[in-house]
Structure 1
Amino acid sequence: MNAVTRRAVIATAAVSMALSLAACGQAGGGDSGDKGSSTKIGLLLPENKTSRYEALDKPQFEKAVKAACGDCEIVYNNAVSDVVKQKQQFDQLIADGVKVIALDPVDAAKAAGWVKDAKAKGVKVVAYDRAVQGADAYVSHDNNKVGELQGQALLAALGAKAATANVVMINGDEKDPNAGLFKKGAHSALDGKVGKIAYEASGEWDPKVAGEKMSAAISSVGKDKIGAVYSANDGMAGGIITSLENAGVKGIPVGGQDAEVAGIQRIIAGTQTFTIYKSPLQLAPEAAKFAVNLLKGKDLGAQGATDGVPSTLFTPVVVDKTNIQTTVVKDGIYKAADLCTADLAAKCTELGIK
């Protein structure tokens, strides 16, 4: 190889290397000098009192990321309802070179400031299930529709009694913007169609708190005067139903949300009337797709926009005793064996759950 040829080869190799490094930097959304930055995706979930996060959302997200990006590394943390802890987790991800974070915030209003700071450092954020101002993408279910479906299902369960029924509403945590949407949607379905909302309070997404609020409602309204109970999720429904049973109140409709194992089992047993199924088979893979596409600099593939943020909103589904088999079992979220414990076996057979 003569000197001219050798210089040409070296120059070509240098250009190729520069282009490769530039591409890596673009994919990672920041400085390519951060070790491993181009393959790290963070997942921050808000709490573990609601079992769906650890049992469903986390594994489905991880599975979908690995399918789309075999060399991607997922860094996961749960805030256990502590906003200060979640801020520390968020900051640590950035310090560790993570360039895309899927964030389900404990407090969406406070998280907006984190997102602004992250973007200044070249870090992208996918708002997971709860909208965060300034996020690069948002994936959730139609949360106003969730509330509407909850209210409509409660009306259907009440039937002719709805027009005179006293309804107790135990809403979610007021720091969660989704809780406000659930509440708004439920009121749009219930207001003017039930006797009255006789008691309303926040259960703070905590079964214990929800149970305490239910006991207060029983004292305030009277145990024989409560026609139905709206519970914003299944976890709180468990605490509510325990309080009702302790007070000797049975047979009134109680709704929930999240299609948790315990909620589905209560529906089979007949103590809970319905839940709302927001499939993690939709939610987690879409969030994973957004995260990987942001990491690689690709088009998001969002279905629309919410407050200017590219987003996909899925339609939730009411699950009651008539469609457990054709929803959560058919989708593979749960096996019949997960739901049909020995004490529920006969009722599962009756309902066609297998």
Structure 2
Amino acid sequence: MTRLLQYVLVLVGLTVASLITVPAHAERIKDLGTFQGVRPNQLTGYGLVVGLAGTGDDSLDYATQGMKGVVARFGLTLPQGINPALKNAAAVLVTADLPAFSKPGQRLDVTVSALGKAKSLRGGTLIMTPLRGADNEIYAMAQGNLAVGGLGVSGADGSQVSVNIPSAGRIPGGATVERAVATGFDTAPTLTFNLAEADLTTALRVADGINRTFGDQRAQATDAVSVNIAAAPGATDRIMMMGMIENIEIKPADAAAKVIVNARTGTVVINGAVKIHPAAVAHGKLTVSVNESPRIVQPAPFSRGQTAMEPSSSISIDQEKKPMVNFKGGASLTDIVKAVNAIGASPADMVAILEALKQAGAMKAELVVL
């Protein structure tokens, strides 16, 4: 049986399996991670935006050097000691992501951000700018008119009004790929699939799902993130196998029990894996109020006394009584929410209750404070 026929049979099996009811919470392997080497690469470049309506850099040296470099391409040389007024130009940084398998001639979206004190890039045009990768090689060339969503207006008295961010913009399809990045996936001894989140159980289930689909033992989990897959060399066979693997559906492992607390906003998130061991919780508020009501005292007639102020204070204590809540063993997320609502706890109070439960050993969950 040829390898192509084997892949066709596997593809037919996957199609038939997709028509059968999938277990709850099953997810495709492609949604759980990526193949090693198949990833985007970041590109960065330094350029010059021209055509601004007086909102560019005033006397930034980087912009002046950039302007000299631009005119030098056309055989022009600015006189020594003379720096052009660059109100209509701005020095910028250009960034883009080069997707995996990008080929020369394909277009990329680029982001253009002002480097100096340019007030706005609205109406500007980016001059041809090379985009370099981490190896300092040129992989794309960018040029085009900017689309700026922000707006900035200033008055003669120094007052300013800004809407969004006018000093940054986008050029859809503003860069052309000049060089492809070698991924090496077609020549590597094995393929490696990396999970987005480390989990030993999920890694084992991914390897088991691949082996059951292809009917052999080609996949092996090496750690909590990586699954190595034996594959014949050659781009055609590997692309076909990778496409089939991405569409295999498995049931990921349940997430670890966690309680996430955002201390700045008071947001508390409890995932469904959190369980509470037997515990009793009592929560109440003690309010102490001190009211000052000073009185003015007048002297008796012909007493040669003086008007005086007599302090008068009243102190009251109000203790709000809340019932004690008893958590039974194995209490779920629903039980926790009901109990917290029953005692009228605010998000801040809930954090204190959860911390106390964890200190008492009644909550076996990781408490993460953002």
Q: Return the index of the structure with the highest Cα Rg.
A: 2
Given the two structures, how large is their TM-score scaled by the length of structure 2? 0.23
Higher RCO structure, 1 or 2 (CA under 8 Å, sep 6+): 1
Given the two structures, how large is their TM-score scaled by the length of structure 1? 0.24
Query: Higher helix fraction: Structure 1 or Structure 2?
Result: 1
Query: Higher strand fraction: Structure 1 or Structure 2?
Result: 2
